[in-house]
Structure formats: C-alpha cells, structure tokens
Amino acid sequence: MNRAPLIFLGIFFALAFSWTGIVLTNQISYGSLQPVYDETEGKSFPQQTPGLAARGKLVYQDLGCIYCHSQQVRRPGYGADIERGWGERQSVPRDYIRESRVLLGSMRTGPDLRNIGARQTDRTWQYLHLYDPQITSAGSIMPPHRFLFETRKIIGQPSPKAIQDKLPASARPPAGYEIVPTERAESLVAYLLSLKDTYAYPETKNVYVEPAAEAGKEEKK
C-alpha cells in the first residue's frame, strides 16, 4: 500500500490550516485598517513619520536596537507597562498601520520605547545617552554609540549641537575640538522623538481600562 500521497496531503493541510488561520484571516480582517481622520484637528492619525525620522528608523534597524527594546505597550492590568510610564494607553493595531516595518520587539533588556518621544523630549539628553549611556544612566548595560558622533576641529563658530561640554572631564576632546552628532545620530534621535502614541482612537477609549489602573495613572501625574 502506498500511503505517501495521504501522508503528503496531511502534511499540506497541517500547515495550510495555520497559514489560513493566522496569516490569511488576519490579513483579511484587519490588514486594511485605515487611519482615523480627526475633524477638530484637521489631521488623520496615526501621522506619517517625517522624513528625517524615517531615515532614523533605518539607523534603529541597522544597529539592532530592537533586540533590547520593544515598541508595544500592554494593556493596564497586564504587566506594568502603564505603571512604568511607558505609555498612557495600550498599543492597538491602528498605531502601526503607517509603518512599512513594524518593530514590536520581543525583549525588554531596556525600557519599551513606543512613547519615548513623549517622555524624554530633551534632545541633548538623547545625544548624551547615545554617546555613552553611563553619562545619563550610570550602571546601564546599553552599549555606547560613540561611532555615531564625530570629533572634529572647531573651525569658526563652534557647532550648537556639540556635546563635549557636557561630557565628564576624562572623556572630553582636547581644546579646540568638538564632538558633534553625525547625520545618522541626528536622524536616529529625530526618530526616537517621533515615537509617541498619544492620540486616542475610538478603540482605545474604553478597552480594558480598569478603574484601578486609571486611578494609578492619576497618582503618577
């Protein structure tokens, strides 16, 4: 008896089943979610990432920040994402529809960054932290990204973006030199600052928000 065709059929349907269930069904059911147009603001949300930030996202991708940072906030009551101040609300599928590459991430060796642009708006802090995380966050295990900066001779006016004055004495360049972010560092920081899901979509207003969590949020403020 040749059972090969039968076995093959089984093998085929096993995967076809999950492919249909996980991939196709979801693609059909929410693969064409649309942005929401807000009458009062006259804009649609989520907004397009501006050009510089979009380039910064490529830097984020090529350096592999995703292996230590997630970009998804879980609902109140599940995990402590909200209590940690990683977002005002949970992330929903609509938040991601403008992104041609979704970087949810699966590790939180560092904090979630979905709303970093809302909680750490100081550009200089971001530069210093990138240059060497020990400056802003002693004991951090985030790698230094000094290679995103350039040490150069000051010619004429010093650059307004230069950071050497804020570095610890031992890390400063010789007099007459300055340390400035490269274009990649600038775009990366622009990307980080663009990360904020603060708009409340209809579906975020009353899902899963337990009163306790709401109260916790009030206290934090």
Residues that bind ligand HEC (CB under 6 A): 60, 63, 65, 67-69, 109-111, 113, 116, 120, 133, 137, 140-143, 145, 188, 192
The Cα 186–Cα 180 span in angstroms is 10
What is d(CA 2, CA 4) in angstroms, rounded to the nearest whole number?
6
The single-letter DSSP state of residue 85 is T
Which of the listed partners (other proteins, ligand HEC, none) does 172 bind, with a CB threshold of 5 to 8 Å by partner kind? none
| Measured distance CA(44)–CA(172) in Å, rounded | 45
Asked if residue 205 binds other proteins (CB under 8 A), the reply is no
From residue 27, alpha-carbon distances to 74, 204, 212 in Å are 22, 21, 35
- When the beta carbons of 21 and 143 are compared against ligand HEC, the nearer one is 143
Instruction: List C-alpha distances in Å: 53 to 56, 149, 193, 194.
Output: 5, 18, 8, 7
Contact partner, 170, from other proteins, ligand HEC, none, Cβ < 5-8 Å per class: none
Which is nearer to ligand HEC, 116 or 180 (by Cβ)?
116
User: Which member of 44, 137, 154, 166 binds other proteins (CB under 8 A)?
Assistant: 137
Residue from 9, 18, 47, 202 binding other proteins (CB under 8 A): 18
Q: Is 131 in the site for other proteins (CB under 8 A)?
A: no
